[in-house]
Structure 1
Amino acid sequence: MRRLTVITVAALLAAGCSGQAAAPPPAPKKAAEIGVPFGSHRLPYTQGVLRPKGDADGQVRDFYAKWKAAFVTAKCGSRQVVSPDADHPYVGEAQGYGLVIAATMGDRPLFDDILKYVEAHPSVNNPLLLAAEQDENCKSVNGSDSAADGDLDVAYGLLMAGRQWGGDYRDKAAERIAAIKESEVHPETKLMKLGDWATQDEPLAKVSRTSDWMIGHFRAFEKIDPEWAAIRQAHQKLIASIPGETGLLPDFVKDGKPVKGEVLESEHDGDYNWNALRDPWRIGADAVTSGDPASVAAARKISAWIARTGSPEKIAAGYTLSGEPLEEGPEPAFVAPFAVAALVQPDGQAWLDKLWTYLTSQEFGKKDYFAATVQLQSMIVVSGNHWVP
């Protein structure tokens, strides 16, 4: 329906008094102005953020094309992101990643196909959340409940889609943001729970995964629900409280402290390992877009420490919180997020360029879903193409 332009009495009087015709109403925004085309850098980072040398936009586009060819499948009446190196062929984390990546790249057909898959797999506990795992036939398994990381990215991706293309994506995002707060945020600690299954009587109810501490997502959610400001601040306060010179966070915390021993996945649950490796990317992404002193300080601390290795090839595959290597590296999944943190390191240009050269020289296979997907999203931020809806 075309919106009718209403000329107010005041405007008519002003025109009569001046002897001039009333100014015409501003022209509506063109469709292209609604979105953020990849490579446009329409929403620039805060002042002082570094950039890698070379054609970073082109390198990300090339990496995206390879990633899409390797990990996007067409099954069960839609398309979805396959995760051959995860516990199940299709996981909520992967679909959330896929939505954010597709929205960032301006790939609406892929976005809508993944969203169709997401909406076809609701959690048994809250239908506005995503069942976290599906088998090769796209059937939800292992309880059909949710995992917080996938849900956070689904909601964020929907907000991005609303900015890119209009429509009802933002309304869908608002519904999911409310569901996340209801079912996946601990009412006392204000920290993210592991999923909607972690109810108050569950032993893991107060365990939180640091890779779910997506500060930039929470900041975007505040525009929908101001209560997310307190949730964001609770996570930032805890990030700042983790002791040590490295700035590294553990995979999991409980009662505000790194867990000890195996709590959910391995004996290294209290170390900087395969979950927490995403933290420099998440924290750094907020630092470059918001300039929040807490995020900037946390990212700089991590970057200053890891830069002492001198070479990406010397970055280990996991560390204790004091900085002792867990396994020999390098491993792209661990290297890539450090490049995001380096963006706010004042003297980090040479280090950033080394990291970028390493990342853009890497090849991946069809079983390297996790590393390649973390790397792609980190490269998107480093190239200057991350934005907050």
Structure 2
Amino acid sequence: MGYSLWEFEVYGTPSSTGVAVPFGSRQQPYAAGILRPSGSTATLDAQVVDHYRRWKSAFVRQNCGNGWYQVISPDADHPYVAEAQGYGMVVVATMAGADPDARRIFDGFVKWKIDHPSSINPDLLAAEQDVNCRSVNGGDGATDGDLDVAYGLLLADRQWGSSGTYDYRQLAIRHINAIKASEVNPSTNLLKLGDWASAGSQYYYLSRSSDWMADHFRAFRKATGDPAWDTIRTAHQNLVARLQRDYAPNTGLLPDFVENTNSSPRPPAGQVLESVNDGKYYWNACRVPWRIGADAVTSGDPASLAAARKLNTWVRAKTGDNPNGIAMGYHLDGTQLSGGSAAAFFAPFAVVAATDPGSQAWLDALWGKMLQTPIDSSSYFSASIQLQVMITVTGNHWVP
């Protein structure tokens, strides 16, 4: 059950919460021409809040004591993974104003981050914890989780300021600088998989397409004043364009991983990290339309818009504008890998749909499918992606 209108009005005003950017306030307008699902903003926001409450009930926990909050990941390799914590920090900071407990939960996430440092760069988050909340598998960092942790801290600084229990801004800048030092390849300006992918290793010139978050790079540039983040953003946008041109000219699809980033970037022919589908559009790259689209709708950047619209044009033609036709994985030429349906695959296409003025009916169909898809408490991955897509396509994603 969602918030009543009364609750929404009370928690949605800055004067009642001390929140600078309460959920639903849309203080940062999107680029011109970006679509939203049909319906009133009040209805759309109530639908997002309802989904958020269900997500929170399913996945946000206070396990192992110590004042920690964490997002559980029943479908990951370990009960707690950095990716899930990053999602939680971004989501909860964004939902401030709609959730009166947002700051308390966020501070529990921050304490978890501080108490689980990477064994390689302690300003980063250790990627995996066991059922006893102890870091395992070497305790090193994962780039995707670190990017969202840093972004979430910037959101928190904007929402609540940094004079409380934690100096969010200082923690964010330390985290951003640690990402640059340990998770960006200095010779390519492209993201590595984590702080563990060291020079000379087979993973040093391997990158994960779903980590390429241009809106995060913009926020890091603004927060630090470091122009390196403009260089990093441009390098990733150029790589997206190159991969779409050379390997997916008719679809725009990106592979889960890209190898040889120092010479001739290409999709791997087989397994390089996770599965034989590492060079295909699979369980990592399924997030790409959302990540590229998030920058396109907020910045209006021509490169992000072009990449997003290429994906949108392909998926509409592939499915005949039927969201039920979006499968779980594709070869880069658009040949389906498997049947079935998962929110991790269909929801992200709503963000690229929002970039095309001619796709209102398609966006509405995708929105309808999301509303009809209940939270699966065994899949934090799909549920967390769908929630963040819903936040973005309703105009509620913002770049600190």
State if a TM-score over 0.5 links the two structures.
Answer: yes
CA contact (8 A) 1:250 1:270 kept: yes
Aligned residue runs from structure 1 range 1-389, under 5 A: 35-54=20-39, 55-76=43-64, 77=66, 78-106=68-96, 107-167=102-162, 168-223=167-222, 224=224, 225-242=226-243, 243=246, 244-255=249-260, 256-308=265-317, 309=319, 310-389=321-400
CA contact (8 A) 1:122 1:131 kept: yes
For 2:236 and 2:112, the matched residues in 1 are separated by 31
Structure 1 residue 366: Cα displacement: 1.6
For 1:229 and 1:50, the matched residues in 2 are separated by 27
Structure 1 residue 332: Cα displacement: 1.2
For 1:37 and 1:146, the matched residues in 2 are separated by 31
The aligned amino acid for 2:241 is A
Structure 1 residue 108: Cα displacement: 1.1
For 1:85 and 1:373, the matched residues in 2 are separated by 12
SS at the partner of 1:366? coil
SS at the partner of 1:258? coil
Question: 1:369 and 1:276, CA in 2 relative to 1: closer, same or farther beyond 3 A?
Answer: same
Q: TM-score, normalised by structure 1?
A: 0.91
Structure 1 residue 181: Cα displacement: 0.3
SS at the partner of 1:75? coil
Structure 1 residue 330: Cα displacement: 2.0
Per-residue CA deviation, residues 165-198 of structure 1 (Å, 9 max, x unaligned), is: 1112112111110000000000111110000000
Moved more, 72-81 or 83-92: 72-81
CA contact (8 A) 2:62 2:69 kept: yes
CA contact (8 A) 2:117 2:124 kept: yes
The aligned amino acid for 2:24 is G
For 1:100 and 1:135, the matched residues in 2 are separated by 23
The aligned amino acid for 1:56 is L
CA contact (8 A) 1:90 1:138 kept: yes
Partner of 1:20: none
Per-residue CA deviation, residues 66-93 of structure 1 (Å, 9 max, x unaligned), is: 0000001111221100000000000000
For 1:246 and 1:118, the matched residues in 2 are separated by 38
SS at the partner of 1:257? coil
Question: 1:109 and 1:33, CA in 2 relative to 1: closer, same or farther beyond 3 A?
Answer: closer
Structure 1 residue 365: Cα displacement: 2.6
For 2:391 and 2:340, the matched residues in 1 are separated by 23
Structure 1 residue 346: Cα displacement: 2.0
Structure 2: gaps of 5 or more residues: 1-13, 97-101
Per-residue CA deviation, residues 260-308 of structure 1 (Å, 9 max, x unaligned), is: 1000011110000000000100100000110000001100110111012
Structure 1 residue 219: Cα displacement: 1.0
The aligned amino acid for 2:229 is W
For 2:81 and 2:25, the matched residues in 1 are separated by 31
Aligned length: 361
For 1:93 and 1:317, the matched residues in 2 are separated by 20
Per-residue CA deviation, residues 367-386 of structure 1 (Å, 9 max, x unaligned), is: 11111001101111011100
The aligned amino acid for 2:21 is V
For 2:385 and 2:19, the matched residues in 1 are separated by 27
CA contact (8 A) 1:312 1:330 kept: no
What root-mean-square deviation, in Å, do the aligned CA atoms of Structure 1 and Structure 2 show? 1.3
Per-residue CA deviation, residues 78-115 of structure 1 (Å, 9 max, x unaligned), is: 11000000000000000011000011001211111111
Moved more, 295-304 or 359-368: 359-368
Question: 1:234 and 1:163, CA in 2 relative to 1: closer, same or farther beyond 3 A?
Answer: same
Q: Which runs of 4+ in 1 moved over 6 A?
A: 29-34
Structure 1 residue 33: Cα displacement: 8.2
Q: TM-score, normalised by structure 2?
A: 0.88
For 2:376 and 2:147, the matched residues in 1 are separated by 27
Question: 1:137 and 1:34, CA in 2 relative to 1: closer, same or farther beyond 3 A?
Answer: closer
CA contact (8 A) 2:18 2:160 kept: no
Q: Which has the larger radius of gyration?
A: 1
Structure 1 residue 139: Cα displacement: 0.4
Structure 1 residue 30: Cα displacement: 7.8
For 2:316 and 2:341, the matched residues in 1 are separated by 14
Structure 1: gaps of 5 or more residues: 1-28
Structure 1 residue 329: Cα displacement: 2.6
Structure 1 residue 31: Cα displacement: 9.7
The aligned amino acid for 2:123 is L
Structure 1 residue 359: Cα displacement: 0.4
SS at the partner of 1:353? helix
For 2:63 and 2:173, the matched residues in 1 are separated by 28
CA contact (8 A) 2:143 2:183 kept: yes
